[in-house]
Amino acid sequence: MSNAVIVTALGGIGATYIFFWALLYLTQDSKEPPIVSSSIPFISPILGMIRWSMDFYPHMRKRHSNLPIYTLRIPGVRIYVINSLDLIPVVQRQWRTLIFAPISVKAVQAAMGASKEAVAVLEHDLVTEHGFVNGMAKATHSTMSKGSALDGLSSKTFEAFDEALNRFAVPTTVNMYEWVGKQIMRATTDAVYGPANPMRDAQNLKAWHKTSLTDISHQQISPALMFMMLDILPQNLFFKAAVQAREKLVKSFAKYYADGSYKQGSSYIQQFVQHCIEQKIPQQDIPRFLLGTVFNNVANTILTAFWVVFRIFSDPIVLEDCRNEVLQAVQDQDGISTIDLSFILNSCPVLLSTYHEVFRYHGMANSVRVVSEDHMLDNKYLLKKGNLIMMSARAQHSNSAIWGENVDEFYHKRFLKNGKRFSPVAFRGFGGGTTLCPGRHFATSEILLLATSLLLRFDVRPTKGIWVKPSTAKSSQAEAMEQPDDDIEVEFVPSSGARDKKWCVAFSGPRADPLLAQK
């Protein structure tokens, strides 16, 4: 290659670099949060996200600890990343301007394939409770979070666990993640959708998610959801198998809706459908909306339950502490052992602390908001319309200034009330603000009932002889919890005293939830 060609090529690269560098800084208002990660304009943040994956925002928090908020510029959008704990409530208070609803709309449109007419209903009002998205939260909230509706959901999940555990009369070997996933999927969807639960069908389960961690096929909808939501690549070209899987599931939910089976489901699913009908969502779209609820209902509950069981049984001290507590929650009468869920929630502080530490340590919820109009955050930082705000749970959960020097350790007693008190905003296991997860009480009851049943009735031992924490490097950020890369083969060994008993669940009193970090 001649020198002239090399000089021209280098000149071209230099000019392009200067052009994009100038574009980056000339289009950034001085009142906006400062730009970081700009050595290759518009590209460096993407390279950082690929390199650091789920630890990108914790890494950036440490690197830019002097900045309460900063801007990442990627092609087409600015991401305003909240670094400082103090700014999180400020963002959450502006829920009419810094809104979540467009994310839900994208999910229904790009991932569930909703029609233009359905999307128009959602987009009609993204801000008030009269709109579809915020109205849905209002319509279904009480059916998941308190009273007899919540107790009903919890009882149903307990029945499913009991039925599964009764099958282990002798020591039995299982893959732990696969087993926990199967139980949570069955228990949750039976409780939510009722006797005609479409997710009982083995083909539907295969179309939804990988039923084992060794499955390397790409025939399911669930792992593709995040990429489909980005809405960049044509679906019929890049996600053909996932779209086919989705359409198969939509067909099942269409039958479930058309024959009125949802009327035998939980109050939650009845209210959900009722709200769709009242808001005039086209009939053919309602099954797509119903399918969307599967993701909320099970994805994070499976993962959290897996880590809770792993953390309890893999450490003899945690196991003993938790088992001693839950033994107090059982009443034996006439061969029936009754587990009091109210006692577990209100009077088992170490179990609840372990549960919260799982969220702090393994949690990775990313709360995203859309700036609906230009806004001056805290009277200091200009946020421009159409861009995104990111509040990363992991960035806060890994901050030693909040959690202390042992932040990198799993410490099961961290959340005991007699220990150090943490700012309530610092814990973001279930997100926060007006979109704080409405399913959190249901998920908490379900996971604690599974953990308690195992504690009372089984020993769980790794077949390799020692517990090894699986790596989580391949975790997808669509979920709010780390995902194990490999399964753990374990043996469930029934405890001699628990084997021949009948088990049931009771709720002795109102849920005061004194031990919950997010009430």
Write out the residues near ligand HEM by the rule CB under 6 A. 100, 104, 137, 144, 296-297, 300-301, 304, 365, 367, 429-433, 435, 437-439, 442-443, 480-481
How far apart are alpha carbons 416 and 328 in whole angstroms? 18
Q: Name the minimum Å distance from CB 191 to ligand HEM.
A: 9
Amino acid at 323: R
Closest CA to 156 of 266, 279, 71: 266
Select 58 or 429, whichever has its Cβ closest to ligand HEM.
429
Select 77 or 327, whichever has its Cβ closest to ligand HEM.
77
Q: Name the minimum Å distance from CB 230 to ligand HEM.
A: 17
Q: Name the minimum Å distance from CB 509 to ligand HEM.
A: 23
List binding-site positions for heme. Answer: 437
Select 261 or 297, whichever has its Cβ closest to ligand HEM.
297
- What SS3 state is found at 357? helix
Q: Are 225 and 239 in contact (CB under 8 A)?
A: no
In order, the DSSP letters of 332-349 are: EETTEEEEEHHHHHHH-H
Q: Name the minimum Å distance from CB 280 to ligand HEM.
A: 20
Tokens of 79: 């991401």
List binding-site positions. Answer: 437
Q: Are 427 and 398 in contact (CB under 8 A)?
A: no
- Secondary structure (H, E, C), 196-224: CCHHHCHHHHHHHCCCCCCCCCCCCCHHH
Select 298 or 329, whichever has its Cβ closest to ligand HEM.
298
How far apart are alpha carbons 340 and 506 in whole angstroms? 5
Q: Pairing between strand 388-392 and 77-82?
A: parallel
- Secondary structure (H, E, C), 209-268: CCCCCCCCCCCCCHHHHHHHHHCCCCHHHHCHHHHHHHHHHHHHHHHHHHCCHHHHCCHH
Q: Name the minimum Å distance from CB 188 to ligand HEM.
A: 7
Select 439 or 494, whichever has its Cβ closest to ligand HEM.
439
Chain centre to alpha carbon of residue 216: 23
Select 41 or 432, whichever has its Cβ closest to ligand HEM.
432
Select 91 or 490, whichever has its Cβ closest to ligand HEM.
91
- Biggest CA pair distance of the chain: 95
Select 181 or 431, whichever has its Cβ closest to ligand HEM.
431
Q: Name the minimum Å distance from CB 289 to ligand HEM.
A: 11
Q: Name the minimum Å distance from CB 266 to ligand HEM.
A: 9
Select 37 or 479, whichever has its Cβ closest to ligand HEM.
479
Residue 311 CB neighbours (<10 A): 23
Token look-up 């099954």 returns: 287
Q: Name the minimum Å distance from CB 294 to ligand HEM.
A: 10
Q: Name the minimum Å distance from CB 30 to ligand HEM.
A: 30
How far apart are alpha carbons 207 and 294 in whole angstroms? 12
Q: How many residues in the chain?
A: 519
Chain centre to alpha carbon of residue 472: 15
